[in-house]
Amino acid sequence: MSIDIGKTFIDMTKTAGQGLEKEGAAIGDNFSKVLINNKESLAELMQARVDGEINEEDFTIELEREKLIVEAEMINLEIASKAAIQKAVNGAMDVLTQAVSAAV
pLDDT of residue 66 exceeding 70? yes
Higher-confidence residue of 96 and 80: namely 96
Domain encompassing residue 40: 5-103
- pLDDT score for 34: 87
User: What's the number of domains the chain is made of?
Assistant: 1
Stretch 53-73: mean pLDDT: 93
- Which of 21-25, 32-36, 38-42, 93-97 bottoms out in mean pLDDT, i.e. has the lowest? 21-25
Q: Count Cβ atoms below 10 Å from residue 11 Cβ, excluding itself.
A: 17
Surface-to-core class of residue 12, CB atoms within 10 Å of its CB (0-12 exposed, 13-18 middle, 19+ buried): buried
* Cβ atoms 13, 56 nearer than 8 A: no
Stretch 10-14: mean pLDDT: 83
* Cβ atoms 1, 54 nearer than 8 A: no
- From residue 40, how far is each of 5, 9, 33, 64 by CA, in Å? 10, 11, 13, 16
